[in-house]
Amino acid sequence: MIKLFRQIRRSLIEQNKIGSSTEASAKVGNYFKYAIGEILLVVIGILIALQINNWNERKKTENSGKKLFNELYDEYSETGEILKHAKEGNDLYISFLESTLNNWNRLDLETLESFKRTEFQKNNLSILFVLTSYSQFNDPKNDIFKKSIADGTISLVDDEFAKNLSSSYRLMHRLDEMITQEYDISKEITLHIGKTYSKILNGFKRETTNKMDSKTLDLLLKSFRTDGTLKYLLNAKLEFAESRSKILSSRYQSIQETLKAYSYVRKEQNQINQ
């Protein structure tokens, strides 16, 4: 197209040279044609430049979207692993509480050891630590997701994928809320045991590395049998742990389904990059 206009321009110039003796009006008309041709050349050049620039921008945006998707995918995969390990620890905790409560009326050191939860039996202090402790849940590091929400780049990835991530991370805040509530119950248990069994625990400090002797621990456990308040508080902790397990399980399953659904996208992008 540009070549054609150049030919027309040269033709007009030649005509002006040859027809220099013609009337002035004819020359003006030729000059107008020449000017229009020059304008069209400039306009076409600008349009082509804009088209190339738009293509480059689309390519950059597309590459940015692919890069962000891969980063979010990896971050989401790490979140799944965190939830998996959290659920394993939580299930162990549930098992311990269930065993303790199911054997409440015959609770003693021998019964405790029969639970076969050696993770909690490394020393005689473990029983008190587990009963008065509260769950720990480390929030997944979703910094990339948070940043993409803040700067709006989340719009560069698939909308359904972004919604799945948002839903999972939002529900994880509920876990933190539950842990805060459980912490309050654990404080009540600590205060209750310290006040009710002060004579048995007299002289014993948790901060020391000394193990509680078996006789004292056995007496303490037997004393728990008639303690309805302590049993009620432990049942409340168990309910929180069971609710937490359901959330962890559903979120982990949801994450795995999302990762599987978009694994082909990740695979295609990796092949292109190679």
pLDDT digits (tens, 9 = 90+) for 97-138: 888 899 899 888 777 777 655 445 444 445 666 677 766 666
User: What is the CB neighbour count within 10 angstroms for residue 23?
Assistant: 9
Domain identity same for 13 and 139: no
Domain identity same for 91 and 138: yes
**Domain extent for 32:** 2-50
- Report whether 230 contacts 193 (CB < 8 A): yes
Rounded Cα distance, 125 and 111, in Å:
15
The tokens describing 251, both together, are: 């979120």
Domain contains 248: yes
Domain identity same for 39 and 82: no
Q: What percent of the chain is modeled with pLDDT above 90?
A: 23
Predicted pLDDT at 131: 72
Number of domains comprising the chain: 2
Domain identity same for 252 and 212: yes
Question: 0.85 exceeded by the pTM?
Answer: no
Domain identity same for 33 and 143: no
Spatial CA neighbour of 61 closest among 146, 154, 156: 156
Domain contains 242: yes
Q: Which of 16-20, 165-169, 205-209 has the lowest mean pLDDT?
A: 205-209
Domain identity same for 153 and 191: yes
Predicted pLDDT at 207: 42
Question: 86: part of which helix (H) or strand (E)?
Answer: helix 24-102
Which of 41-55, 224-238, 254-268 is modeled with the greatest confidence?
A: 224-238
Q: Which of 65-69, 102-106, 199-203, 254-258 has the lowest mean pLDDT?
A: 199-203
Domain contains 226: yes
